[in-house]
Chain A
Amino acid sequence: GQQLNQSPQSMFIQEGEDVSMNCTSSSIFNTWLWYKQDPGEGPVLLIALYKAGELTSNGRLTAQFGITRKDSFLNISASIPSDVGIYFCAGQLTGNQFYFGTGTSLTVIP
Chain B
Amino acid sequence: EPEVTQTPSHQVTQMGQEVILRCVPISNHLYFYWYRQILGQKVEFLVSFYNNEISEKSEIFDDQFSVERPDGSNFTLKIRSTKLEDSAMYFCASRRDSLRQPQHFGDGTRLSIL
- A residues lining the B interface (CB < 8 Å): 1, 31, 33, 35, 40-45, 48, 50, 88, 90, 95-103
Are B103 and A45 in contact, with the CB atoms below 8 A? yes
Q: Most chain-B CB neighbours within 10 Å: which of A35, A96, A99, A103?
A: A96
Given the known A-B contacts A88-B43, A103-B42, are A42 and B107 also in contact in the complex, defined by CB atoms under 8 Å?
yes
Q: How large is the interface on B (under 10, 10 to 19, 20 to 34, 35 or more residues)?
A: 20 to 34
Are B100 and A50 in contact, with the CB atoms below 8 A? yes
Are A42 and B44 in contact, with the CB atoms below 8 A? no
Are B108 and A96 in contact, with the CB atoms below 8 A? no
**B62 touches A (CB below 8 Å):** no
Are A102 and B48 in contact, with the CB atoms below 8 A? no
Are B91 and A43 in contact, with the CB atoms below 8 A? yes
Q: In the assembled complex, how far is the CB of residue B46 from the closest CB belonging to chain A, in whole angstroms?
A: 10
Q: Offer 8 A-B interface pairs, CB within 8 angstroms, sorted by A.
A: A40-B107, A41-B108, A43-B43, A48-B100, A90-B103, A97-B45, A98-B45, A100-B43
**B52 touches A (CB below 8 Å):** no
Give complex CA distance A88, B103 in Å.
13
The residue that B105 contacts in the complex, of A43, A48, A99, with Cβ under 8 A, is: A43
Instruction: Give me the 6 closest cross-chain CB pairs, A-B, nearest first.
Output: A42-B105, A100-B43, A96-B48, A48-B102, A42-B107, A96-B55
